[in-house]
Amino acid sequence: MSTTSDAPRWSRYVAIGDSFTEGLWDGPDGPDAPQRGWADLLASHLSARRTAAGEAPLEYANLAIRGRLLRPILVEQVPAALAMKPDLVSLVGGGNDILRPTADVDRMARNLEAGVVRLREAGVDVLLGTGVDAAGSPLVKATRNRVAIYNALIWSMARRHGAYVVDLWGMRALQDWRMWAEDRIHLTTDGHARVAQGALVGLGLTPDDAAWDDPLTPLPPTPRMQQAREDAAWVREHLYPWATRRLRGKSSGDLRVPKRPEISPVE
């Protein structure tokens, strides 16, 4: 993998969103340390290209917090991002809303578009993200129709307002479960690395890795009994705790603060 020579024009980048942008579960320093994730990696790639071109390092903040619904992202994180006077904001959210059967994707898209308009009117470039195609997930695929509609609305608003889009739905590599953590909702380190490359492509830049979306070498089918045991473990260790928190009105992000709340140069 090598860094390309096309230097990005952005100098101040703020990432906002939920656990996807916070970086779960890309934890090079362990699961209890601040997570890294695709947005941190994107910031590193952009900064490296700037310094290679003789520019100052990219300044970067990450305000994303796990468990956040779309409305708190827009109401709390968008104004905080604008206060930092960025020239690039990644705004990816709505996945936690769509997991709820009562999600109104049309209302979500209207609210998201209002956030995009607010950022664009301030002169900020915006990077949006589609939802992932969960066709291969036994339970999450129940959200597939809602995600597909939401994605179509995202592409339309991006066209209207000149926003960029990282096309997660179209990433072939993300169809492989080896890209996903044990909870089957968050990416592995390799998954985050590939999304960071996809974000470069979404921004109109050349990826560092030409094979960024190549599928992994196929594995033999998982025996049926082993798959049943793995599914049962997933329900016990991940689905049940998540459902219990929902019933109690709790979130995994309650009382958490952003991991990188101040904009500062990327090291």
Summarised one tens digit per residue, pLDDT across range 112-131 is: 999 999 999 999 999 999 99
| Predicted confidence band of residue 5 (pLDDT cuts 50, 70, 90) | low
pLDDT above 70 covers what percent of the chain?
95
Mean pLDDT, range 71-96, rounded to an integer: 98
Q: What mean pLDDT comes out for the span 95-106?
A: 95
The pLDDT, as a whole number, for residue 31 is 84
- Is 205's pLDDT higher than 60? yes
Identify the weakest region by mean pLDDT among 34-38, 62-66, 216-220. Answer: 216-220
pLDDT of residue 150: 98
Judge whether residue 68 has pLDDT over 80: yes
Q: Which of 92-106, 128-142, 234-248 is the least confident region?
A: 234-248
Alpha-carbon span 148 to 168, nearest angstrom: 11
Other Cβ atoms within 10 Å of 28 Cβ, number: 9
The b/e string for 130-147 (b: 16+ C-beta within 10 A; e otherwise) is bbbbbeebeebeebbebb
Q: How many helices (H) and strands (E) does the chain have?
A: 10, 6
At 186, phi and psi to the nearest 5? -110, 155
Given a cut of 60, whether residue 1 has pLDDT beyond it is no
CA angle 19, 25, 31 (to 5 degrees): 110
**Amino acid 99: pLDDT:** 92
What mean pLDDT do residues 25-51 have?
Answer: 94
- Give residue 106's pLDDT: 98
Contact between 164 and 127 under an 8 Å Cβ cutoff? The reply is yes
Nearest to 164 by CA among 8, 6, 49: 8
Task: State the pLDDT at residue 227.
Answer: 74
User: What was the pLDDT predicted at 233?
Assistant: 75
Crossing angle of helices 189-202 and 37-52, in 10° steps, is 50
User: How much is the pLDDT for 91?
Assistant: 99
Q: What is the mean pLDDT of the chain?
A: 92
pLDDT at 90: 99
Higher pLDDT, 250 or 192: 192
pLDDT of residue 2: 44
